[in-house]
Amino acid sequence: MFDARLRPLIDPPLNAAGRAMAAMGITANVVTVVGAMLGMAAGWAIAQQAYGWGLALILANRLLDGLDGAVARASGSSDFGGYLDIVADFIFYVSVPVGFGFAAQHNQLPALVLVASFTLTGISFLAFAAVAGQRGDETDAHGKKSFFYSTGLAEGTETIIAFVLMCLLPQHFVVVAYIYGALCFVTVVQRSVLARVSFTE
């Protein structure tokens, strides 16, 4: 919901950093892989109830997630890079709730619900992108991407906010997980309605 609105603010500094990293010979794929590793490390730290470290690693992961695209724009994007980026994103999205599930027994069911909601959101997102790509549809609302990005109620910015709240208030993980899971399910319905409208021509 907020991703497209934030792009004009975050893209200029990210692009400047991306150009500097590309000039040093750092590739976008390396940034993506390191980011994925930090995402998994965040899940591990949270599982150990080291929520401060988990939060720091979450923020580091999201920074690298922004930088890999900036490096790609500076040095040349690739289809494999786009594939790797989305896989790394979902490694991160799954790692954090799984970490909370391991941190406390009462977190296990809401963590499972959250992973299920991310799975369905991801499926709807990728299915929409696949069909839109076949039709030749394009959008730059989220910046230049390897494939079509459809907008939804629960996007990257909202996910970061939810994860930050979970780390700052781990005792309320259950409530935050159920609320955000519900927003993800609403996003699936929203995107499905949009697909019905967009893909019937």
CATH number at residue 75: 1.20.120.1760
Query: Both tokens of residue 178?
Result: 């159920």
Query: Both tokens of residue 19?
Result: 């150009």
Residue 66, Cβ neighbours under 10 Å: how many? 20
Q: What is the pLDDT of residues 47-100, one digit of tens each?
A: 999 999 999 999 999 999 989 989 988 888 788 988 999 999 999 999 999 999
| Dist CA 56 CA 45 (whole Å) | 10
What does DSSP assign to residue 80?
H
Task: Record the pTM.
Answer: 0.84
Total domain count for the chain?
Answer: 1
* Domain that includes residue 156, residue range: 3-198
Q: What is the pLDDT of residues 21-47, one digit of tens each?
A: 989 999 999 999 999 999 999 999 999
